[in-house]
Structure 1
Amino acid sequence: MKSLFLGQPHRVEKVYPEWIKKTLEIEAGLEGPCITWPCSADDAERLKSADFIFSTWGMPSLSREEIDEFLPNVKAVFYAAGTVQAFARPFLEKGVRVFSAWAANGVPVAEFTLAHILLAGKNAYAAKRMYTRHNRFKEGSELVQRTGGIFRNKVGIIGAGMIGSMVIEKLKDFEIDVYVSDPFLPDEKAKSMGVTKVSLEEIFKTCRVISNHLANNDQTKGILNYSLFSTMLQDAVFINTGRGAQVVEPDLCNILKGRTDITAVLDVTYPEPLPDGHPFFTLPNVILTPHIAGSMGREVERMSQYMLEEYRRYIKGDTARYDVTLDMLKTMA
């Protein structure tokens, strides 16, 4: 049995702590330094005898032909990060199993989103603008009175995949009416989750706080546009921790310029980073962060720990928890 790291060495070092690497050496036959791509002739020989690949952000995208040539014996890829859309399909089509730590990476995203939903429910962003930009204390407080706070307010979740479902689960600790737009969510499952399933249009028309968790694919690119943003409620807040390309950003900019009551909380944009002079930098009703919702700092170690545990289940023949399938690629972020 032989395992190798494949990807970008500095990221592998960041995500896989020493104790995980030592454990993989003992239990999975992990050998040598991380292999980069394109690889050297010596590394190509190492890859040909590999049974398992461990990786994280920076995993190269290989074609089916490259997998045949360089990884003829590989049985599984353990990816200590979130989305596998960039590389998984050729492996899956070849019958190689792919495991992803999307659930581990989803934990801090769900926590980050929950924090913003609760702040948005208090209309904290608009109240801050009123107070700090105009020194209008009373009016800032009245903005919260106007929206009613988070209690029994409506929150709309766009996409009930792994992260969207995590957010929904966390919202159960609060008395909030949760609405979900997701064509892949069965009615029975929506009922068991305690949410109301509605159309995307209904989410924007009726929910005070809207959070995007759509899958990242061609079908969702540019799906959030002017026709939706223009229907947002007074003092509504749009949160995006999904992907920037799902938003028609010029449409959102135009709405934000004309509707100073609404707020956009954007942890993702397209492109990243934004070019100098982009309106998002100066619009007062934009909260802009540099894609920090996912695993950072010590949080990244959770992802490699999940993959170590998944490897152990694989070896024992136990049921996998984080197996990726071709069908899942249709709805995964």
Structure 2
Amino acid sequence: MIIQYVVAVALVAVALPARSVANNTMTKNLKVLVSSNDFPASGLRVLEEHFTVVQTKYLNFGEEGRTLAKDDLLKLIPGCSALVWSSNLPITKELLDKAGPQLKLVATVSAGYNHCNLDELRARGIKLSNTPNVLAPAVAEIAVGLILGAARRFTENLDQVRRGEWEIGFDKVLGQDVRGSTVGIIGLGGIGQAVVKRLAGFEVEKFVYSGHREKPEAKALGAEFVTQDQLLAQSDFIVLAVPLTNETKHMINKDTLGKMKSNAIVVNVGRGDLIDQEALYDALKNKQIYAAGLDVTTPEPLPKDHKLFTLPNLFVLPHIGSATVRTRSDMGVLAANNVVNALTGKPLITPVKL
């Protein structure tokens, strides 16, 4: 009996690695397409451990993404089970058609997913994941930077430095304080909460927020739930931290700008189309509001001769919210782990509801 037991245990011990190898071989038969040549190496390692990875040799951003990368992706995607989308360019019906019926997941390496053609994904039964939360700290830091840049008139002051003509005087190019202000957050999700935490040390007088419902985390942050109209009327700084949807598109427009205080500063770290830029231009030019700070615009990049750049009370950054080494690596790994889960029968870590 003892000998039989020992033999049985030994056979199980030998069989377990074999099963693991078999499973690994099964997933290696699955092909995953990475859409850009700059996807983080940390994310690639996760994917390559499990799957056969194909990656375009082109950058999937800007003109290269619209031409060379697009053509290459159309050649590479047939037969792929997952698509890792590292780009702000739209996922087209043409690309999904080329993929074939075995495509199970689109993993976008971003918090926003307005470029992901939700209707098509839903109709085809393809799942979608994104990378929220891991980028919240970095984006919140940029939001704080935009607040300071717009409030302290960085655009005008940097222009002085570049021209070598400093305006000397006790009352020259004075800005606004964050201290004692009311800060309104439209969208108290992960990014909005991270903004409040970082601004707490600036002696802000009051935090208010608006959204579909009250957030349980708000109490610990000292943030008060108000209607959007109340937020617009009360706030010295208004931070947009919501995704772009049909509901939120142009939520900042002629009407909502008209409800703001004359010293209000609008900061956008969401998506460019949250703001009607024509209405913003008029409000800034006519000094209806004090200033704006944008990390996102429509289009991107904003043409260098765009009329918004003629305004001294606008501070613009080139969509760098998540642009830190650590954050981009974390985003890549999260996207890769979503692919692993999707293709091995486990729940997505960060699913997008379609």
In structure 2, the partner of 1:255 is 283
Partner of 2:38: helix, strand, or coil? Answer: helix
Distance in 1, matches of 2:31 and 2:329, equals 19
1:303 Cα deviation after fit: 1.4
Distance in 1, matches of 2:47 and 2:159, equals 54
Distance in 2, matches of 1:249 and 1:167, equals 23
1:155 Cα deviation after fit: 0.4
In structure 1, the partner of 2:108 is 79
Summarize the Cα distance change of 1:248–1:38 in structure 2 as closer, same or farther, 3 Å threshold.
Answer: same
Distance in 2, matches of 1:204 and 1:100, equals 30
Say whether the 8 Å CA contact 1:4–1:31 is kept in structure 2: yes
What is the root-mean-square deviation in Å for CA atoms of aligned residues? 3.7
In structure 2, the partner of 1:5 is 33
Matches within 5 A, 1:219-298: 219-259=247-287, 262-275=290-303, 277-295=305-323
Distance in 2, matches of 1:40 and 1:313, equals 23
Structure 2 unaligned segments of length 5 or more: list them.
Answer: 1-26, 58-68
Q: State which of 15, 32, 36 in structure 1 corresponds to 2:39.
A: 15
| Aligned sequence identity (%) | 23
In structure 2, the partner of 1:201 is 229
* 1:91-121 deviation per Cα after TM superposition (whole angstroms, max 9, x unaligned): 344433322123334442222002333556x
Q: State which of 37, 52, 55 in structure 2 corresponds to 1:30.
A: 52
Say whether the 8 Å CA contact 2:290–2:313 is kept in structure 1: yes
1:172 Cα deviation after fit: 4.5
* 1:210-248 deviation per Cα after TM superposition (whole angstroms, max 9, x unaligned): 111232122222221233324433433211222222222
Summarize the Cα distance change of 1:275–1:52 in structure 2 as closer, same or farther, 3 Å threshold.
Answer: closer
Distance in 2, matches of 1:169 and 1:320, equals 28
The TM-score, its normalising length taken from structure 2, stands at 0.71
Distance in 2, matches of 1:256 and 1:234, equals 10
1:76 Cα deviation after fit: 2.8
Instruction: Tell me whether 1:180 sits opposite 2:202 in the alignment.
Output: no
Summarize the Cα distance change of 1:94–1:189 in structure 2 as closer, same or farther, 3 Å threshold.
Answer: farther
In structure 2, the partner of 1:331 is none
Summarize the Cα distance change of 1:119–1:129 in structure 2 as closer, same or farther, 3 Å threshold.
Answer: closer
In structure 2, the partner of 1:160 is 188
Partner of 1:31: helix, strand, or coil? Answer: strand
1:290 Cα deviation after fit: 2.4
Structure 1 unaligned segments of length 5 or more: list them.
Answer: 327-333
Distance in 1, matches of 2:295 and 2:44, equals 31
* 1:151-196 deviation per Cα after TM superposition (whole angstroms, max 9, x unaligned): 34210112234432332343445543211121x2336564465321
Number of residue-to-residue matches in the alignment:
309
Aligned-partner residue type, residue 95 of structure 1 = G
Summarize the Cα distance change of 1:106–1:306 in structure 2 as closer, same or farther, 3 Å threshold.
Answer: same
Summarize the Cα distance change of 1:170–1:321 in structure 2 as closer, same or farther, 3 Å threshold.
Answer: farther
